[in-house]
């Protein structure tokens, strides 16, 4: 299986950064590793746990050898018991620690739903602000290579539904580091949903610790003709689609939401008010998911800007199939975005 040691082979777009041979590029994995290393260095309250964080594959390399540097009391393997361990991190956070709890796949978060949703996400509100839970939970969507229905789920739609839980989905190496540090510094439970296709990236990452604001999206490509709202790996696909369309003279604006809760409503509405056309791309399911939520937001607050119906590009509402021919049919990407964009432009 090629996924345990993903090679960073793709330079991610530098977006608005001047392309310069001298900028420091890290792989996506190295960027997260550096964030964790710096957090452990800077704050004695931070600890990292999860099944396999100290093994050789080290959560896609993100936790590699940190147990050797900081000791196995601060970076440690755990029983699989996802629900109890989530509650234990919640208790540790209430007791003044800053846990970062790693899961290989979001699919296993279902085993932790009671503690994550009923407990960690409720504790601050339910006790009128008496107790807060500074907890980071991390999981990586396992698309591809026959991972099938229980090792590939993109569950952000479910978690976006939960008040009291912040939800982050980075798309660049820069954000993977800055959002991890922001999540650790945050006083609330934060779920970071990664995508393993992002681990192919190398990108610009400053060395010094920095935080990217939780709740702020970013424009990855300016455009006037149509808005592409995307998250995580779909930002890369939307950007490729926008580049392709720009060769035809169509200028798509690409917005990377970076955070789903809190949601940057303003960046969405501002873009739609400019372009009048909206395409939303998500690597999760369509029904009741991210694309549905953003469509509803724009229908409620930006209906007058729309010149054509909203288009959603998301995975079909079936469990993920295993075989590669069906995987190809299931997953969506750049071409689907281009086709959907062309349809909207034609309708208009």
Partner 1 sequence: MDLRNYSNKLLIKLYFDMLRIHKVQLHIESLYHLDEMKTPIHLSIGQEAIAVGVCANLYPKDYISSSHRGHGHYLAKGGDLKMLIAELYCRETGCSKGRGGSMHLVDTSVGHMGSSSIVGGGVPIGTGLGLSIQMKAEDRISVVFFGDGAVDEGVLYESINFAILKKLPVIFVYENNQFAVCSHVTARQAGEVIFHKTPEDLMPSHVVNGNSVMEVYETTQQAVIRARKKLGPSFIECKTYRVREHAGAGSDEKLGYRTAEEIREWESKCPVRAFSEILLRDGVLNETEIQVMEETIDCEIDEAFRFAQRSPLPKPEDVTKYLFCD
The footprint of partner 1 (CB under 8 A) covers 47, 73-74, 78-79, 81, 83-97, 114-115, 118-119, 123-132, 163-164, 166, 187-188, 262
Q: How far is the CB of 170 from partner 1 (least distance, A)?
A: 20
**Cβ closest to partner 1, residue 77 vs residue 317:** 77
Of the CA atoms within 13 Å of residue 168, those in its CB half-sphere come to: 28
Q: How far is the CB of 208 from partner 1 (least distance, A)?
A: 25
Q: How far is the CB of 97 from partner 1 (least distance, A)?
A: 5
**Cβ closest to partner 1, residue 132 vs residue 273:** 132
**Cβ closest to partner 1, residue 122 vs residue 240:** 122
Q: How far is the CB of 288 from partner 1 (least distance, A)?
A: 22
Q: Which residue has the tokens 């939800």?
A: 167
**Cβ closest to partner 1, residue 48 vs residue 154:** 48
Query: Which is the catalytic residue, given 33, 103, 151, 233?
Result: 151
> Is the separation of the CB atoms in 195 and 169 below 8 Å?
yes
DSSP for 41-95 reads HH-TTEEEE-TTTTSSSTTTTTTTTHHHHH-TTTEE---S-HHHHHHHHHHHHHT
> Is the separation of the CB atoms in 37 and 14 below 8 Å?
no
Q: How far is the CB of 282 from partner 1 (least distance, A)?
A: 24
**Cβ closest to partner 1, residue 114 vs residue 243:** 114
Among 182, 170, 237, 187, which residue's Cα sits nearest to residue 213? 182
Report the Cα 206 to chain-centroid distance in Å: 20
**Cβ closest to partner 1, residue 187 vs residue 339:** 187
CA distance 238 to 230: 7
Q: How far is the CB of 115 from partner 1 (least distance, A)?
A: 6
Strand partners, 281: 230, 313
Query: Measuring CA to CA, how many Å separate 173 from each of 28, 35, 190, 298?
Result: 5, 11, 19, 29
**Cβ closest to partner 1, residue 117 vs residue 279:** 117
> Is the separation of the CB atoms in 262 and 214 below 8 Å?
yes
Task: Using alpha carbons only, give the angle 271, 274, 279 rounded to the nearest 5 degrees.
Answer: 50
What are the two backbone dihedrals, phi and then psi, of residue 252, each rounded to the nearest 5 degrees? Answer: -90, 140
CA distance 27 to 47: 23
Per-residue b or e along 9-48, where b marks 16 or more CB atoms closer than 10 Å to that residue's CB: ebebbebeeeeeeeeebbbbbbbbbbbbbbbbeeeebbbb
Q: How far is the CB of 51 from partner 1 (least distance, A)?
A: 12
Local structure of residue 107 (DSSP, 8 states): G
Question: Is 67 annotated as catalytic?
Answer: no
> Does residue 203 sit in helix, strand or coil?
strand
Residues recognised as catalytic: 151
């Amino acid at each position: 299986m090629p996924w345990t040691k993903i090679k960073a082979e793709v330079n991610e777009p530098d977006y608005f950064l001047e392309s310069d041979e001298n900028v420091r590029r890290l792989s996506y994995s190295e960027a997260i590793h550096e964030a964790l290393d710096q957090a452990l260095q800077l704050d004695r309250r931070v600890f990292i746990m999860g099944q396999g964080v100290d093994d050789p594959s080290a959560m896609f390399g993100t936790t590699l050898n940190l147990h050797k540097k900081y000791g196995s009391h601060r970076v440690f393997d755990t029983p699989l018991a996802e629900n109890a361990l989530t509650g234990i991190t919640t208790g540790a956070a209430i007791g003044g620690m800053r846990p970062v709890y790693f899961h290989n796949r979001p699919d296993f978060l279902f085993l932790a739903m009671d503690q994550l949703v009923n407990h960690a996400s409720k504790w601050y509100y339910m006790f009128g602000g008496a107790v807060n839970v500074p907890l980071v939970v991390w999981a990586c969507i396992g698309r591809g290579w026959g991972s099938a229905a229980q090792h590939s789920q993109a569950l952000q739609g479910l978690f976006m539904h939960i008040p009291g839980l912040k939800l982050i989905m980075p798309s660049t190496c820069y954000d993977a580091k800055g959002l991890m540090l922001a999540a650790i510094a945050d006083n609330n439970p934060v779920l970071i949903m990664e995508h393993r296709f992002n681990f192919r990236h190398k990108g610009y990452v400053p060395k010094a610790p920095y935080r990217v604001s939780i709740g702020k999206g970013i424009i990855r490509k300016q455009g006037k003709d149509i808005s592409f709202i995307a998250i995580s790996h779909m930002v890369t696909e939307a950007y490729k689609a926008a580049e392709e369309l720009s060769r035809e003279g169509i200028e798509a604006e690409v917005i990377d939401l970076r955070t789903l809760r809190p949601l940057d409503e303003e960046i969405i509405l501002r873009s739609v008010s400019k372009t009048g056309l909206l395409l939303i791309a998500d690597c999760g399911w369509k029904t009741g998911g991210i694309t549905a939520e953003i469509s509803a937001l724009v229908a409620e607050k930006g209906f007058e800007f729309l010149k054509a119906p909203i288009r959603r590009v998301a995975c079909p509402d079936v469990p993920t199939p295993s075989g590669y021919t069906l995987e190809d049919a299931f997953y969506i990407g750049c071409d689907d975005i281009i086709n959907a964009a062309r349809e909207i432009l034609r309708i208009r």
